[in-house]
């Protein structure tokens, strides 16, 4: 029996990248899909104060936030394959995952939490500001992958930065089929977010990975 439990949402980019991180560390984990089982969601929300998923329980210790979980896994399992590259690559990886979160957080917030303001005179200004931040972050990420001489961002191979970018692109590009019956997805699609071509091309080459296929 695994000593780890991950409370997650199947399609969430935050949950998917955490599953990729756990797979990279070659750790067993029990998956509890909180959208399919409301009891799992209630359990997860009691475990950490964030009231967001994913939530990892590792040997009885609960941890929320996907980036914190990734740092935790590298710290507690140093002999397993590393998520963060060493040396200068670590700084670049941190900047990369930060750019991913700027893009995702602004898109998600605008399409969900702030969306009730869409009838307000302030909406156009709010939308322009938040989509501008997200768009600049996506373009910066596209520039990072456009001229890579290899499939991964770093010579050491698949890393947290690759996982973060792939999960974000997969989520954005996979929304249209999920729009029917999903209010949040429908609202996000109205924002008209476009994934830069360089990001789509880069992400596509990783779709055949075994850990990536396991997500979908």
Sign, CA torsion 32/36/41/42: negative
Q: What is the pLDDT of residue 19?
A: 98
Task: Quick: pLDDT tens for 152-204.
Answer: 999 999 999 999 999 999 999 999 999 988 999 999 999 999 999 999 999 99
Average pLDDT for residues 6-24, to the nearest whole number? 98
Angle at 163 between CA 161 and CA 165, to 5 degrees: 70
Q: What is the pTM of this model?
A: 0.96
The C-alpha atoms of residue 4 and residue 196 are separated, in whole angstroms, by 36
**Are 103 and 137 contacting, i.e. CB atoms less than 8 angstroms apart?**
yes
Task: Quick: pLDDT tens for 115-162.
Answer: 999 999 999 999 999 999 999 999 999 999 999 999 999 999 999 999
The C-alpha atoms of residue 87 and residue 203 are separated, in whole angstroms, by 25
Please give the domain boundaries of the chain with CATH numbers for all domains.
4-76 (3.40.30.10), 88-213 (1.20.1050)
Position 70 pLDDT exceeds 70:
yes
What percent of the chain clears pLDDT 90, i.e. is strictly above it? Answer: 94
């Amino acid at each position: 029996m695994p000593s780890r439990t991950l409370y997650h949402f199947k399609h969430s980019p935050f949950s998917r990248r955490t599953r990729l991180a756990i797979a990279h560390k070659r750790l067993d984990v029990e998956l509890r899909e909180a959208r399919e089982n409301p009891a799992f969601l209630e359990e997860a929300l009691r475990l950490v104060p964030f009231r967001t998923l994913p939530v990892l329980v590792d040997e009885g210790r609960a941890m929320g936030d996907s980036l914190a979980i990734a740092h935790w896994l590298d710290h507690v399992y140093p002999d397993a394959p590393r998520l963060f590259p060493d040396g200068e690559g670590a700084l670049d990886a941190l900047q990369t995952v930060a750019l991913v979160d700027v893009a995702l957080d602004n898109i998600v917030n605008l399409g969900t939490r702030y969306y009730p303001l869409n009838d307000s005179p302030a909406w156009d200004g709010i939308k322009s500001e938040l989509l501008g931040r997200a768009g600049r972050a996506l373009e910066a990420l596209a520039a990072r992958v456009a001229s890579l001489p290899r499939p991964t961002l770093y010579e050491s191979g698949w890393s947290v930065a690759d996982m973060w970018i792939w999960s974000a692109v997969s989520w954005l590009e996979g929304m249209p089929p999920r729009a029917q019956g999903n209010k949040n997805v429908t609202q996000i699609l109205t924002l008209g977010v476009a994934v830069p071509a360089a990001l789509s091309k880069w992400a596509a080459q990783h779709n055949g990975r075994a850990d990536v296929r396991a997500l979908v």
